[in-house]
Amino acid sequence: MEAYEGYYEDGRFYPVGQTITIKGRRRVRMTLVEEPVTEHQETAQAAAWREFFEAINASNEEVPETFERVNFAQEIAL
């Protein structure tokens, strides 16, 4: 037996965070949880990337096509 979490809307089940492949005809058991689904729950990493790209897009500075390589492990004297 396998369990999947997601939401059901307009006759379709939408799994959250995974892809489901079910071959053939299978018997299923569905449990309806009586709580509304909030819109897409963003992970902390996804939120950080979104904020990063929003900041870049909001910047007035031109973004170069390539960046100078940086070695953060290398010690330098200032």
Q: What is the pLDDT of residues 46-76, one digit of tens each?
A: 888 889 989 988 888 887 888 888 888 888 7
Q: What is the pLDDT of residue 41?
A: 65
* Cβ–Cβ < 8 Å for 6, 19: no
Pick from 2-6, 11-15, 34-38, 52-56: least confident: 34-38
Q: Model pTM?
A: 0.39
Quote the CA–CA distance of 56 and 62 in Å, as a whole number.
9
Backbone angles phi and psi of 7, in degrees to 5: -140, 155
- Arithmetic mean of pLDDT over the chain: 83
